[in-house]
Structure 1
Amino acid sequence: MQEFVWSGSVEPCLDGPRIHTYGRVAIGLCGGNAAMGAKKNEDAALVWAGEDWVFAVILDAHASSESADAVLELFETGRPELLALIERPQPSHVEVQAAVTRLLFDAAPQLARVRGETACLVSYQQGGFLMWLSIGDNQLYLLHPELQQLGQFTLTVRNYFEWIGERSSLALDVPCFSTGIRQLRKGINTIALVTDGLLEAGDRVFEDPARVSRELLSPAGISEAISTMLGEVHQQGGRDSATVIAWQVDNPRMGLMPSG
């Protein structure tokens, strides 16, 4: 298994984009343009990657990086249980989904003692299926020609008043978050998690999911595509931190089709 754990509180990346690759996973980090006043990076990211699976977490904190760092620590603490489920001979996306949900719910009272709060997007892909859990306004893309022809690019809706931490949507009378599991289509599927610093920089051209799709599916490859997008964010003077995690899956199985 390959592992990547990063916090902008330790490595803010204010001097321009940095790209890391771990097997088929590409990770882009851009802490905002210091020349335009950016002084901190409150994003964070975690990736565990096995031979045929990827587990990724992307975080975008507010008020301080304490909440993002606390969630990173939470997943590191929960790693033995999660990996035991993921690495079973017949892994279950439903059981991983339940374990992630339980991990976050159980920790919500403890996380309420940190300063600030964070959006949190968790994604787990193994074989031909993709699970996610989202609290907040991070964005998850699932890109495939069959979906693009129907105008579908994203799996999440950006929810602007959800976080976990000092202010927590999990602590409401009715907890608020989103989660789901989707089947991948046959052929190349591209999966990407992004924070809002990519979407809201400059002229906000990357708010258009079709534009993000064109960039990520360019012949240059995912790493170069992420570098290009974050480079544009930096050149446009983006002050907010932008983080991207992306990878591709070649799924050999035909996806579900309608009858008749």
Structure 2
Amino acid sequence: MMQNFVWSGSVDPCLDGPRIHTAGRVAIGLCGGNAAAGAKKNEDAALVWAAADWVLAVILDAHAGSESADAVLELFEAGKAELLELIEQPGPAHARVQAAIVQLLLEGGARLAEVRGETACLVCYQQGGYLMWLSIGDNQLYLLHPELQRLGQFTLTVRNYFEWVGAHSSLGLEVPCYATGIRQLRQGINTIAMVTDGLLEVGDRPFEDPARVSRELLSPAGVSGSISSLLAEVHRLGGTDSATVIAWQVDNPVMGLMPSG
């Protein structure tokens, strides 16, 4: 049975400290910033659809109000039936979902252009041993696994500071601009995490170090406990920007691609 989670900081700003929710095997951490330090609003939003063998997750970080993030949530809710139909077709759905999400956002451009402000948008679809993502803006995506960590690889995205969807949209340019990809997971436990910049830009920015984020997320406390600790530190440091984290683990039984020799 599919589990659903949809949240907007415009409805529940979570200014009183971190909150942890779950949707199946996915943990979602919400922190609107420390009200005592001056936090007054939360312009993040999140959506998770989680089944036994796949996860689709969206994390959003808006500015100039929450209208743009809420409008993207509405697009996904309106396109839900079509996306689920693509996912339920036989075989891996990554390329189908990738194309459908690009089309969903492009076709929703006119509606998004009418809202106030813009939002960064990161979408992930994981099915079996593969992960698809689409990123517009400066949200961060981590793929954590010992084989990758030994080589110094922690993230799959580069933060792009001049891309958004909304009133000013990188999808509305003469050539639509976004980043997308599909990656094979490594054999064993893979940890996937999506975060907004309220985690990365707090205090003296300790969590801009992806190795530090990796250590925190892979603590013995488990995914939910690790997210709770991360966001508690954001709150303790007096973060005034909203920080949202979505994370889950995949135990992949298939050996990852290796080079010759």
Deviations 1:192-241 (A, max 9, x none): 00000000011210000000000111111011100001000001000000
Whole-angstrom CA distance in 1 between matches of 2:181 and 2:85 = 21
| Residue in 2 that maps onto 1:97 | 98
| Residue in 2 that maps onto 1:201 | 202
- Structure 1 segment 12-27 matched on structure 2, within 5 A: 12-27=13-28
Whole-angstrom CA distance in 2 between matches of 1:181 and 1:138 = 17
The alpha carbon displacement at 1:23 in A equals: 1.9
| Residue in 2 that maps onto 1:120 | 121
Question: Structure 1: which 5+ residue stretches go unaligned?
Answer: none
1:227 is aligned to 2:228: yes
1:3 is aligned to 2:18: no
| Residue in 2 that maps onto 1:249 | 250
1:29 match: secondary structure: strand
Whole-angstrom CA distance in 2 between matches of 1:203 and 1:228 = 17
- Structure 1 segment 58-137 matched on structure 2, within 5 A: 58-137=59-138
TM-score by length of 2: 0.99
2:214 match: secondary structure: helix
2:202 match: secondary structure: coil
Contact residue 112 and residue 168 of structure 1 kept, 8 A:
yes
- Percent identity between matched residues is 80
Deviations 1:14-55 (A, max 9, x none): 000000122211000000111111111000000000011100
| More off after superposition, 85-94 vs 27-36 | 85-94
| Residue in 1 that maps onto 2:183 | 182
1:228 match: secondary structure: helix
Contact residue 154 and residue 209 of structure 1 kept, 8 A:
yes
The alpha carbon displacement at 1:88 in A equals: 2.0
Contact residue 85 and residue 91 of structure 1 kept, 8 A:
no
The alpha carbon displacement at 1:89 in A equals: 2.7
TM-score by length of 1: 0.99
Whole-angstrom CA distance in 2 between matches of 1:256 and 1:82 = 29
Whole-angstrom CA distance in 1 between matches of 2:98 and 2:8 = 24
Matched pairs, number: 260
The alpha carbon displacement at 1:175 in A equals: 1.4
Whole-angstrom CA distance in 2 between matches of 1:85 and 1:9 = 31
The alpha carbon displacement at 1:174 in A equals: 1.7
| Residue in 2 that maps onto 1:142 | 143
The alpha carbon displacement at 1:86 in A equals: 1.1
Whole-angstrom CA distance in 2 between matches of 1:49 and 1:232 = 28
Contact residue 13 and residue 32 of structure 2 kept, 8 A:
yes
User: CA RMSD of the aligned region, Å?
Assistant: 0.6
Contact residue 23 and residue 49 of structure 2 kept, 8 A:
no
1:51 match: secondary structure: coil
Whole-angstrom CA distance in 2 between matches of 1:152 and 1:227 = 24
